[in-house]
Amino acid sequence: MNKITPFFISCVLLFGATACQNPPSKTTADAPSSATEQATQAPSAQATEAAQKDAQSEIRRKQLNSDIRAREGRNDAFNDGSATKRAARDIESEVRSKLEANIPNGHLTIAASEDGTVTVSGTVAKKDQLAKIDTLPKQIKGVTKIVNKATVAQAKS
């Protein structure tokens, strides 16, 4: 027994030493090929059209409006129902969602300030959509003033 114990201990130590060795470093040649090596391709016209229809669907509009209601609820819970202490980025995000849901094919950028002023720039497809920009953001709690710098896009001929 006295001679077997050191043998077992040395086997355990030898096994532990070999298991703890660092594995050999891998190089880029060892790495699997990835999608970055392949040429990127633009999506097909059908895929683009399907994505656009999905973004403008009634389901998407309901999702965006639901998201706005949830944010308003969180704001009410944390600020005792007041619109004060709203971060500009929160107002910006809610206005962007509201306009995205109600103005299809709009290419708009939104900037908000801490005092509740929202500036909307970009282009819309129709004149009636341009008028919506003056009313829709006012539905968001915390918006005090709207600066509409958007224009109607010229039809391509």
pLDDT number for residue 88:
87
Pick the range with the lowest mean pLDDT from 30-34, 99-103, 106-110, 135-139.
30-34
Indicate the average pLDDT of the chain: 79
* Residue 21 predicted with pLDDT over 90: no
Pick the range with the lowest mean pLDDT from 51-55, 98-102, 123-127.
51-55
Q: For the whole model, what pTM was predicted?
A: 0.60
Q: How confident is the model at residue 151 (pLDDT cuts 50, 70, 90)?
A: very high
Strand ranges (E), 36-136: 107-112, 117-124
Q: Which residues pair with 145 in a beta bridge?
A: 117
- Which two three-digit tokens encode residue 80? 């005792």
pLDDT number for residue 148:
93
Taking Cα atoms as reference points, which of 113, 86, 87, 109 lies closest to residue 99? Answer: 109
Q: What percent of the chain has pLDDT over 90?
A: 17
Q: How confident is the model at residue 117 (pLDDT cuts 50, 70, 90)?
A: very high
Looking at domain 49-152, which of 3.90.25.10, 3.40.47.10, 3.30.1340.30, 3.40.50.880 is its CATH number?
Answer: 3.30.1340.30
Please indicate whether residue 130 or residue 20 has the higher confidence score (pLDDT).
Answer: 130
Return the C-alpha torsion angle 70, 72, 77, 79, nearest 10. Answer: 150
Mean pLDDT value of segment 96-110: 86
Mean pLDDT value of segment 47-76: 78
Query: Do 64 and 101 meet the contact criterion of CB atoms below 8 Å apart?
Result: yes
* Residue 31 predicted with pLDDT over 80: no
Q: What percent of the chain has pLDDT over 70?
A: 77
Query: Do 154 and 132 meet the contact criterion of CB atoms below 8 Å apart?
Result: no
